[in-house]
Amino acid sequence: MPRSWPRCTNGVAIAPSLLAADFGRLAEEVNSLEDGDVDRLHIDVMDGAFVPNFTFGTDTLRALRAETDLPFEVHLMIQRPELHLDTFAQAGADAMTVHWEASPHLHRTLTAIRQLGCRAGAAINPSTPALCLFDVLESCDLALVMTIDPGFGGQKIIPSTLEKVRRLRAEIDRQGHPVEIEVDGGVDASNAAACVAAGATVLVAGTAIFRAPGGAGTGIRTIASAAAG
Ligand code: DX5
Ligand code: ZN
């Protein structure tokens, strides 16, 4: 059964991205998050085809599932995600986000994710217009705006992507669906407030949390207080 999905503290959720964690100590890194105020874990799955990198599979997900009760938000940066939804749901995903660019039948895929009992997310790359998601908002629990080119952490945010967040926020409010807007890539204390001001309600951060000088808990608190403005 999916874990209860978290509330956004003061309207904004922080989602640490495991991509920036020490892959040799994943369980410890995940447990270190419990010191901070996070309510979900962002797990980037990459297939070396949709993006030029490889990361985690279902075995890693299953192993981490046994380590924590944090809800798992799985970001599927893979070709043909519709072929793998059931295996990721079985492995412990609470939410799955697929890319518009990899989903010619996006509405069907989002519906299939929800039928598995998971929350459904749709993601767009920096060059994909916000309006590509406008007609699937009623089938989404989350809209993910990539604020970097996907595949690698540690990049600088692409400032123009925040205009897409503004456009999505306006359309979501116009349609009246309770869709979260997530920004993913290059998010840190220097831009968290701008992301929230643009309309983001979920901030994914990898480097700014797992590589924070004072540790993951400090990284989370720094971003959360910056986001609060
Ligand atoms: C990149 C991933 C992001 C990335 C964020 O393709 O989708 O989640 O790990 O990491 P930072 O915060 O380091 O940019
Ligand atoms: Zn991601």
**What pLDDT score was predicted for residue 12?**
92
Contact 106, 82 (CB under 8 A): no
Question: What number does the ligand 1 atom closest to the CA of 209 have?
Answer: 12
**What pLDDT score was predicted for residue 39?**
81
**What pLDDT score was predicted for residue 1?**
42
Contact 141, 119 (CB under 8 A): yes
**What pLDDT score was predicted for residue 20?**
96
Q: Is 32 annotated as a binding residue?
A: no
- 58 Cβ inside 6 Å of ligand 1: no
DSSP of 150-219? TT-SSPPP-TTHHHHHHHHHHHHHHHT---EEEEESS--TTTHHHHHHHT--EEEESHHHHT-TT-HHHH
Instruction: Tell me, yes or no, if 141 is annotated catalytic.
Output: no
Pick the CATH number of 13-227 from 3.30.360.10, 3.30.1460.30, 3.40.190.10, 3.20.20.70: 3.20.20.70
Tell me the two tokens of residue 204: 């994914």
Tell me the pLDDT of the chain (229 aa) as tens digits.
445 565 554 689 999 999 999 999 999 999 888 666 788 999 999 999 999 999 999 999 999 999 999 999 999 999 999 999 999 999 999 999 999 999 999 999 999 999 999 999 999 999 999 999 999 999 999 999 999 999 999 999 999 999 999 999 999 999 999 999 999 999 999 999 999 999 999 999 999 999 999 888 889 989 988 998 8
Nearest-CA residue for atom 5 of ligand 1: 185
Domain boundaries, the chain: 13-227
**What pLDDT score was predicted for residue 164?**
98
Give me the half-sphere count of Cα atoms (radius 13 Å) on the Cβ side of residue 175: 17
What is the whole-number distance in angstroms between the Cα of residue 143 and the centre of ligand 2? 12
**What pLDDT score was predicted for residue 40?**
93
Q: Is 184 annotated as a binding residue?
A: yes
Question: What number does the ligand 1 atom closest to the CA of 157 have?
Answer: 14
**What pLDDT score was predicted for residue 25?**
96
Q: Phi, psi at residue 147, to the nearest 5°? A: -100, 10
Instruction: Tell me, yes or no, if 94 is annotated catalytic.
Output: no
Residue 77: strand pairing partners: 46
**What pLDDT score was predicted for residue 35?**
64
